């Protein structure tokens, strides 16, 4: 895909629109590429579009840091990194090339490498954000270590735009691995989890592990020696590496099933639990996709009993797509929202009612 | 300028009758140990930043979570400030007591509750020492990655409060990247759980927010950490350079070539000589700079990387390159670096350790400016540098008994931190703001950003009772003491009157 890099500073318009909304007391519905509009509760507000505020602002591969405006397509960011032999290790989905850097951070969705590399927020070093007071502020920075003040940039990751409008992000990046290989084995889900556990103890350089339709798919990344010996040890048959792209982008046949899509996030060593529908195990079992018509309460009970939580990825299935919070924790969410966005301008209700 | 809490600029604190507070606490929480006699309070006057001292009203030494909850409820109702303290090894005065406050010492929560090798996690109390976690995990071939230099003594609760780093951060991350779950008590004594044993949790990322929040948002009562499999092999190269700039360029070459070392450290000549004199690590005392580069992982990959790094170092102009021949030599190479601070302590009556971070490309410029400042202030500076992640530790050498030298060292330190901010870095990479760098916060953040921090704090601690005076300065403090240099033709904080 040929991507034409575009750079444009449209922050003045964004500040002006937020300022206006503040004066009028009208809520805003933040959108970038709209690629994750399916996720979360419906928001009623004036749309505010970040896509015209875009472009990579700075990138020095030897510093391992890239800074981009929020409206920059993730695909463009990836292309810039790729040209320098680097990558964003958390592997966020680009969803048909529509996803933007701002949306990537706001939603915090990571791809198959997440358990080994870290999440989107693990790579966030700094950000600029327009607040409920229509102030354009900067937190964190372009350095790897920074403990001055509260960690606002990482707080904003995964906040679904409910605390402010992210305009710019600095991210830690890493070199692409020198060697990689993918393979598939016919195994039951149970056997797959057992093997994965053994391979983890043996420190095999695994960077992807997904089980679907009776097959375990494994990706290995590292130095040439370690990848070669791990491929030898695991065996199985060679797998087209595009599998990982299709998994990350939800393009596998599994995702075509018309039933609602649920995401269960479970502890590392959670055993195989019976789920009421078809499942795909990703993240070596820590992320389990479920296609199911079962009621939300049933699915949430199962996730909770296993030590995790469940999110509905299909819109209008459940009034609360995200797992409801315990009372005390919800209260601190509300108090934080009240402090940082007292007029309720930003994506009201996207995460939870009243937030 | 004084580091003492100043109610005129840091905010008013309620005054209490000490004996009444002691009596009420004893009545409410009979099994809680409280220290309140002057001589018993002395050991708690300071943390690792020993130059800053204050006597707390009283010291509480709980060993049950219920006691902490009851104490917080009481303090919250009475509006008594609470300063939490772990092992007291912090270097920024984050656990500096308040004479009107309670010092809440969490050191007795020192039990490792669970090590689960299958899940790769450990559940520990906040007073557990950092190194003790790795020791408990070692039988399973696992370890806890963040390794601050004080790891033998510092506690995990303090690590969370400061988002502690170490020499392996570039590859393995900071505390925030290596914990899964926190049990917290709020200022009202309410229990909340942040994060989960899964890789994420619903709602805002309070786990990230609380990490590095310096005890300002809540009290950590339990930590669940991630454990990693110990690398099969680790090799360390020691490269000498006749020029600091060349050493800096070598770091960029290594990372640009796609190698992420487990550790990558730089020392300048003064630091090299001090360390060699102390440890006899075999450092080249005539080198202007040395680089220590450790690569770790699977045996075959490590071999591949060592060869690559060696070639890069040679091309970058290293005058000498040595690969530690065995584990003993590897330990010796590291011992020199890890003891650099005490080594400098041997050549100077006192030293003051800075913690700024910079984009690495700015290193030559910053080192040159530090040298100029060092001459201007008439104080020597030894440089120790986490080169991989841009975290500098300039050590300012001074003599506290020489009139005016302490003040000069502090002023020089402040200049160095402002320099870090000016080149796009931060005043603190891993030691925290605490009380020490409270004024430099005014150089790094503007009044709107500071107000945003205050709003955030108010969501968790509306009365400002948790560790007041640390981490985030009041706007009045910035108006009075903040850097007054002019940004874009405008004075900072024009809305505030000056005293």
- What average pLDDT does the segment B381-392 reach? 93
Which residues on chain A are in Cβ contact (under 8 Å) with B194?
329
Calculate mean pLDDT across residues B20-44. Answer: 98
Whether the per-residue pLDDT at A182 is higher than 80: the answer is yes
pLDDT digits (tens, 9 = 90+) for B137-183: 999 999 999 999 889 999 999 999 999 998 889 999 999 999 999 99
SS3 content of chain A, % helix, strand, coil (to 5): 30, 25, 45
A200 touches chain B (CB under 8 A): yes
Q: For B450, which residue in chain A has the nearest alpha carbon?
A: A149
Tokens at residue A112, please? 């198959």
Q: Mind listing the pLDDT tens digit for each residue in B243-260?
A: 998 999 999 999 999 999
Indicate the residue of B194, B206, B445 with minimum beta-carbon distance to A149.
B445
Angle, CA B356 vertex, CA B351 and CA B357 arms, to 5°: 145
How many residues are there in chain A? 355
Cα(A204)–Cα(A130) distance, integer angstroms: 43
Which parts of A95-211 fold into alpha helices (H)? Answer: 101-107, 114-117, 120-123, 152-156, 189-201
Cα B414 from Cα A125, distance rounded (Å): 24
* Residue B292 C-alpha, separation from nearest chain A C-alpha, in angstroms: 18
3-class DSSP state of A191: helix
Q: Which residues contact A216 (CB under 8 A, 6 or more apart)?
A: A184, A185, A186, A187, A191, A192, A195, A196, A209, A210, A236
Q: Among B258, B312, B172, which Cα is nearest to A223's?
A: B258
Q: Which of B194, B205, B472 sits opposite A154 (nearest CB)?
A: B205
Query: What pLDDT does residue B1 have?
Result: 53
For B16, phi and psi rounded to 5 degrees? -130, 155
Mean pLDDT computed over every residue of chain B: 94
| pLDDT for residue B383 | 95
Best mutation target, A106, A118, A148, A262, to test chain B (most B CBs within 10 A): A148
Give the strand pairing for B102-105 and B58-61: parallel
Residue-level pLDDT at B75: 98
- Mean of pLDDT over chain A: 96
Q: Which residues face B327 on adjacent strands?
A: none
Contact across the interface for B212 and A335, Cβ inside 8 Å = no
Candidates A122, A144, A346: best to mutate against B (most CBs of B within 10 A) is A144
What is the reported pLDDT for B487?
41
pLDDT digit string, tens, across residues B264-287:
999 999 999 999 999 999 999 999
Dump pLDDT digits (tens) for B203-215: 999 999 999 999 9
Chain B contact for A226, CB < 8 A? yes
Stretch B334-350: mean pLDDT, rounded?
91
CB contact (8 A) between residue B198 and residue A308? yes
Question: pLDDT category, B338, cuts 50, 70, 90?
Answer: confident
The domain defined by B233-341 carries CATH number 3.30.70.2190: yes
pLDDT of residue B154: 96
What is the predicted pLDDT for the residue at B2? Answer: 80
Q: Are B146 and B173 in contact (CB under 8 A)?
A: yes
The C-alpha atoms of residue B497 and residue B499 are separated, in whole angstroms, by 7
Is pLDDT of B199 > 70? yes
Q: How far is B201 from chain A (nearest CA, A)?
A: 7
What is each CA distance from B375 to A116, B341, B381, B401, B470, in whole angstroms? 47, 21, 9, 20, 31
A151 pLDDT exceeds 60?
yes
Chain B residue whose CA is closest to A264: B198
Cα–Cα dist A189/A193, whole Å: 6
The strand pairing partners of B59, in sequence order, are: B35, B103
Percent of chain B with pLDDT over 70: 96
Select from A146, A283, A287 the Cβ nearest to the Cβ of B429: A146
Q: Are A211 and A189 in contact (CB under 8 A)?
A: yes
Measure CB to CB from residue A224 to each of B231, B304, B358 and give the nearest one.
Answer: B304
pLDDT at A3: 58
Enumerate the residues of chain A whose CB falls inside 8 A of the CB of residue B458.
339
A192-217 pLDDT, tens digit each = 999 999 999 888 999 999 999 999 99
- Please compute the mean of the pLDDT values over residues B234-243 and round it to a whole number: 97
Residues 317-346 of A with CB under 8 A from B: 322-326, 328-330, 332-333, 335-336, 338-340
Closest approach of A324 to chain B, Cα-based (Å): 8
Number of A to B CB contacts under 8 A, please give it.
271
Q: What is the pLDDT of residues B406-424, one digit of tens each?
A: 999 999 999 999 999 999 9
- Residue B186 has what pLDDT? 98
pLDDT in tens, A259-292: 999 999 999 889 998 999 999 999 999 999 999 9
Other Cβ atoms within 10 Å of B491 Cβ, number: 12
HSE, side-chain direction, 13 A CA sphere, residue B259? 28
**Are A341 and A164 in contact, with CB atoms under 8 Å apart?**
yes
**Which of A326-335, B335-344, B487-496 has the weakest average pLDDT?**
B487-496
pTM: 0.96
The set of residues, in sequence order, having a beta carbon less than 8 Å from that of A314 and lying 6+ positions away, is A38, A260, A261, A262
| Distance between CA atoms of residues B122 and B119, nearest Å | 9
In angstroms, rounded to a whole number, what is the distance separating the alpha carbons of residues A52 and B167?
41
Chain B nearest CA to A3, separation (Å): 24
| Mean pLDDT of the region B484-488 | 39
Q: What is the mean pLDDT of residues B476-492?
A: 60
- Shortest distance between the Cα of B425 and any Cα of chain A, in A, equals 6
Instruction: Out of B169, B190, B204, name the one closest to residue A145 (CB).
Output: B169
Which of A149, A162, A322 is opposite residue B453, by nearest beta carbon? A149
Give the pLDDT of residue B166.
86
The answer, for A350 touching chain B at a CB cutoff of 8 Å, is no
Q: Which residues of B touch A60 (CB under 8 A)?
A: 359, 361
State whether ipTM is beyond 0.90.
yes
CB within 8 Å: A137 and B212: no
The pLDDT of residue B498 is above 70: no
Q: How confident is the model at residue B482 (pLDDT cuts 50, 70, 90)?
A: low
| CATH tag for B11-105 (out of 3.40.50.150, 3.30.43.10, 3.30.950.10, 2.40.50.140) | 3.30.43.10
Q: Is the CB of A144 less than 8 angstroms away from the CB of B170?
A: yes
Question: Does B162 sit within 8 Å of A226, measured CB to CB?
Answer: no
d(CA A223, CA A181): 11
Express each pLDDT in A102-144 by its tens digit. Answer: 999 999 999 999 999 999 999 999 999 999 999 999 999 999 9
CB contact under 8 A, B444 and A328: no
Within an 8 Å CB–CB cutoff, is residue A288 touching chain B? no
User: What is the structure's pLDDT at A195?
Assistant: 96
DSSP state of A156: H
Q: Which fold has domain B112-229?
A: 3.30.465
**What is the arithmetic mean of pLDDT over B457-471?**
98
Q: Where are the domains of chain B?
A: 11-105, 112-229, 233-341, 350-382+394-422, 440-499
For residue A73, the 8-state DSSP code is B
**DSSP one-letter string for A2-59:** ------B--HHHHHHHHHHHHHHT--EEEESS-TTTTSSS---SEEEE-TTSB-EEEE
């Amino acid at each position: 895909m040929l991507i034409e890099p575009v750079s444009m500073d449209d922050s003045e318009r964004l500040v002006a629109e937020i300022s206006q909304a503040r004066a009028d007391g009208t809520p805003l519905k933040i959108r970038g590429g709209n690629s994750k509009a399916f996720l979360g509760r419906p928001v009623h507000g004036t749309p505010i579009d970040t896509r015209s505020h875009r472009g990579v602002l700075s990138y020095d591969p030897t510093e391992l840091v890239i800074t981009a405006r929020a409206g920059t397509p993730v695909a463009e960011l990836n292309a810039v990194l790729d040209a320098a032999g680097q990558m964003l290790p958390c592997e966020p989905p680009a969803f048909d090339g529509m996803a933007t850097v701002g949306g990537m951070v706001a939603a915090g969705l990571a791809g198959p490498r997440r358990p080994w590399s870290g999440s989107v927020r693990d790579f966030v070093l700094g950000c600029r954000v327009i607040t409920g007071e229509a102030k354009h502020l900067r937190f964190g920075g372009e350095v790897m270590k920074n403990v001055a003040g509260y960690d606002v940039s990482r707080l904003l990751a995964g906040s679904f735009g409910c605390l402010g409008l992210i305009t710019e992000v600095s991210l830690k990046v890493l070199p692409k691995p020198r060697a990689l290989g993918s393979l598939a084995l016919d195994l039951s889900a149970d056997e797959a989890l057992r093997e994965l556990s053994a391979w983890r103890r043996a420190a095999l350089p695994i960077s992807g592990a997904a089980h679907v339709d009776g097959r375990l798919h494994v990706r290995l990344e590292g130095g040439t020696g370690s990848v070669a010996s791990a491929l030898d040890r695991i065996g199985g048959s060679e797998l087209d590496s595009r599998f990982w792209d299709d998994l990350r982008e939800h393009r596998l046949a599994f995702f075509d099933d018309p039933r609602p899509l649920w995401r269960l996030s479970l502890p590392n060593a959670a055993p195989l639990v019976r789920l009421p529908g078809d499942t795909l195990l990703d993240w070596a079992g820590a992320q389990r996709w479920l296609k199911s018509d079962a009621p939300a309460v049933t699915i949430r009970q199962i996730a909770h009993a296993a030590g995790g939580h469940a999110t509905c990825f299909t819109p209008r299935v459940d009034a609360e797509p995200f797992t409801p919070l315990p009372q005390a924790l919800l209260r601190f969410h509300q108090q934080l929202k009240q402090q940082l966005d007292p007029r309720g301008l930003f994506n009201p209700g996207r995460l939870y009612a009243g937030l | 300028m004084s580091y003492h809490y100043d109610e005129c600029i840091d905010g008013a604190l309620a005054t209490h009758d000490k004996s009444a507070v002691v009596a009420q606490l004893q009545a409410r929480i009979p099994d809680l140990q409280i220290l309140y006699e002057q001589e018993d309070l002395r050991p708690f006057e300071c943390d690792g930043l020993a130059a800053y001292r204050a006597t707390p009203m009283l010291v509480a030494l709980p060993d049950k979570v219920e006691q902490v909850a009851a104490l917080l409820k009481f303090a919250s109702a009475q509006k008594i400030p609470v300063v939490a303290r772990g092992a007291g090894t912090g270097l920024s005065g984050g656990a500096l007591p308040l004479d009107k406050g309670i010092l809440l010492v969490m050191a007795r929560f020192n039990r490792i509750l669970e090590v689960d090798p299958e899940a790769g996690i450990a559940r520990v109390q906040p007073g557990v020492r950092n190194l003790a976690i790795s020791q408990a995990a070692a039988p399973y071939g696992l370890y806890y990655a963040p390794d601050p230099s004080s790891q033998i003594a510092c506690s995990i609760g303090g690590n969370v409060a400061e988002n502690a780093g170490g020499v392996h951060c570039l590859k393995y991350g900071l505390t925030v990247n290596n914990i899964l779950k926190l049990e917290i008590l709020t200022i009202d004594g309410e229990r909340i759980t942040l994060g989960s044993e899964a890789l994420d949790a619903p709602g805002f990322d309070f786990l990230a927010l609380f990490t590095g929040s310096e005890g300002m948002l809540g009290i950590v009562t339990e930590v669940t950490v991630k454990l990693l499999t110990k690398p099969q092999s680790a090799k360390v190269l020691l490269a000498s350079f006749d020029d600091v700039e060349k050493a800096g360029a070598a770091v960029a070459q290594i990372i640009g070539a796609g190698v992420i070392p487990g550790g990558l450290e730089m020392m300048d000549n003064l630091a090299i000589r001090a360390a060699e004199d102390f440890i006899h690590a075999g450092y080249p005392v005539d080198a202007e700079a040395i680089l220590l580069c450790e690569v770790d992982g699977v045996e075959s990959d490590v071999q591949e990387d060592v060869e690559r790094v060696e070639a890069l170092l040679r091309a970058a102009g290293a005058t000498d390159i040595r690969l530690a021949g065995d584990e003993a030599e590897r330990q010796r190479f590291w011992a020199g670096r890890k003891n650099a601070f005490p080594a400098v302590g041997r050549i100077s009556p006192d030293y003051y350790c800075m913690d700024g971070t910079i984009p690495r490309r700015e290193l030559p410029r910053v080192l040159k400016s530090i040298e100029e400042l060092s001459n201007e202030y008439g104080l020597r500076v030894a440089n120790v540098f986490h080169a991989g992640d841009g975290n500098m530790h300039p050590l300012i050498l001074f003599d506290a008994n020489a009139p005016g030298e302490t003040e000069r060292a502090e002023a020089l330190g402040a200049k160095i931190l402002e320099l870090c901010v000016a080149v796009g870095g931060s005043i603190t990479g891993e030691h925290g703001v605490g009380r020490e760098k409270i004024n430099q916060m005014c150089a790094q953040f503007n009044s709107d950003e500071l107000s945003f921090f205050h709003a955030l704090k108010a969501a968790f601690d509306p009365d400002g009772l948790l560790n007041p005076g640390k981490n985030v300065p009041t706007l009045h403090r910035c108006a009075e003491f903040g850097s007054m240099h002019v940004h874009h033709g405008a004075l900072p904080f024009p809305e505030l009157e000056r005293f």
